[in-house]
């Protein structure tokens, strides 16, 4: 019996080892078929154009349902890769932008210049606020390379990097995220400027942050539960607990660091909300149809992946409690927006027009003191 047991263990170990070799081989083979990217970086390729056209179509068709005023806002879009930046929808680009020779976007001229200090945000080009976003291939490549750098050498060749390719919905809605920043700059310029200036407190804030990790963990969990609550009354009760936990955590925090949290939640949390809500609107709509060109995109799922993505995002939100960086406030701002959707209709106009911060509106929604 002992020899038979030893043989069984040996078979199991050998079988597991063989499966590992097979899996590694399959992963290595899938890596050979990773997207190669555009043949030329000096112009927008067909998929870049299709995704940009879909982002603009989504904004036009469902932008007003996502955020009042956004759908009608005329916001140029800048897409960039590591070599060139491409400007679309701008009526009169300033000096330094070359009109693309022998190419157009949506039947209109677009412009290019060499990429310098690229960013995913919004910026002024001439007298216009412009949404700026990397192309999808550039984003996928960046995350793949960063992830690869952290792997031990034995795994770098066999890790299935295809799992790190983002769905095209992330690119499309990220363009709208950045477009909303341009909309913030247009609709609430003083708040927008103040929110950008508060980043000067970042160093001091993150020095104080490590002592707040446990409190942040509880605070974020209450907010996640409020988003997921199956009844408005339950959502309101959890939102009230969230605000109480937040007030307790901040009891020893300096006023300017509290201001840091509130303003970044306004700046980035609202944009994150627009990113997610535009995806949701497309997913639940019974008559929305993407542009025809998206049929050629292998990474596009017709927005049917929203529920899975939403679940992943809430898990990411939980993980932010102990991570340094302003991404935490993207999520907490977004989540407060979704709770406000349930508890305070009309909050969106007030978030920009009255200059109220999200937690102020949430406090009003649950009947708390200002």
pLDDT at 30: 52
Ranked by mean pLDDT, which of 7-11, 38-42, 128-132 comes out on top?
128-132
User: Which CB contacts under 8 angstroms, 24+ apart, belong to 308-311?
Assistant: 309/167, 309/169, 309/170, 309/279, 310/276, 310/280
In three-state form (DSSP H/G/I as H, E/B as E, the rest C), the secondary structure along 155-170 is HHCCCCHHHHCCCHHH
pLDDT at 343: 98
Mean pLDDT of 139-146: 91
Mean pLDDT of 164-185: 97
Average of per-residue pLDDT values in the chain: 91
147 pLDDT above the threshold of 60: yes
The per-residue pLDDT for range 274-329, each reduced to its tens digit, is: 999 999 999 999 999 999 999 999 999 999 999 999 999 999 999 999 999 999 99
Mean pLDDT of 13-34: 46
Burial letters 212-244, b for 16+ CB under 10 A, else e: beebbebbbbbbbbbbebeeeeebbbbbbbbbe
Residue with the larger pLDDT of the pair 363 and 29: 363
The per-residue pLDDT for range 191-234, each reduced to its tens digit, is: 999 999 999 999 999 999 999 999 999 999 999 999 999 999 99
7 pLDDT above the threshold of 70: no
pLDDT at 109: 97
51 touches 172 (CB < 8 A): yes
Ranked by mean pLDDT, which of 1-15, 189-203, 352-366 comes out on top?
189-203
pLDDT at 75: 98
pLDDT at 25: 46
Question: Which pair of tokens denotes residue 20?
Answer: 């590992």
pLDDT at 299: 96
Strand locations in the chain (E): 77-80, 84-88, 98-99, 111-114, 121-125, 128-134
15 pLDDT above the threshold of 50: no
6 pLDDT above the threshold of 90: no
pLDDT at 14: 47
pLDDT at 33: 56
Helix (H, G, I), strand (E, B) or coil at 108: strand
Q: How many CB atoms lie within 10 A of CB 3?
A: 7
Residue with the larger pLDDT of the pair 255 and 157: 255
Cα–Cα distance, 128 to 176 (Å, whole number) = 16
pLDDT at 64: 98
Mean pLDDT of 110-130: 97
The per-residue pLDDT for range 198-208, each reduced to its tens digit, is: 999 999 999 99
């Amino acid at each position: 019996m002992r020899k038979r047991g030893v043989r069984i263990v040996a078979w199991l170990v050998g079988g597991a080892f063989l499966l590992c070799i097979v899996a590694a081989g399959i992963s290595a083979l899938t890596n050979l078929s990773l997207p190669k990217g555009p043949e030329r970086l000096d112009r927008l390729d067909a998929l870049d154009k299709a995704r940009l056209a879909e982002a603009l179509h989504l904004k036009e068709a469902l932008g007003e349902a996502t955020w009042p005023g956004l759908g009608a806002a005329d916001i140029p879009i800048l897409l960039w890769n590591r070599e060139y930046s491409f400007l679309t929808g701008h009526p009169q680009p300033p000096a330094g932008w070359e009109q693309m020779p022998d190419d157009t976007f949506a039947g209109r001229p677009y412009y290019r210049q060499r990429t310098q200090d690229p960013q995913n945000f919004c910026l002024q080009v001439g007298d216009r606020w412009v949404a700026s976003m990397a192309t999808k291939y550039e984003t996928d490549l960046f995350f793949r390379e960063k992830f690869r750098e952290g792997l031990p050498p034995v795994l770098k060749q066999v890790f299935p990097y295809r799992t790190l390719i983002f769905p095209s919905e992330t690119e499309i809605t990220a363009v709208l995220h950045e477009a909303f920043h341009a909309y913030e700059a247009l609709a609430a310029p003083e708040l927008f400027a103040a929110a950008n200036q508060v980043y000067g407190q970042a160093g001091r804030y993150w020095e104080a942050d490590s002592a707040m990790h446990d409190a942040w963990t509880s605070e974020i969990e209450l907010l996640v539960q409020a988003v997921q609550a199956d009844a408005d009354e339950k959502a309101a009760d959890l939102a009230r607990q969230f605000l109480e936990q937040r007030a307790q955590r901040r009891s020893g925090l300096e006023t300017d660091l509290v201001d840091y949290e509130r303003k970044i939640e306004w700046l980035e949390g609202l944009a994150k909300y627009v990113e997610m809500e535009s995806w949701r609107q497309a997913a639940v709509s019974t008559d929305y149809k993407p542009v025809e060109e998206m049929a050629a995109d292998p990474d596009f799922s017709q927005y049917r992946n929203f529920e899975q993505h939403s679940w992943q995002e809430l898990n990411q939100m939980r993980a932010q409690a102990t991570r340094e960086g302003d991404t935490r406030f993207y999520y907490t701002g977004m989540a407060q927006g979704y709770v406000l959707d349930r508890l305070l209709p009309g909050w969106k106009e007030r978030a920009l027009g009255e200059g109220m911060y999200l937690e102020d509106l949430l406090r009003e929604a649950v009947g708390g003191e200002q």
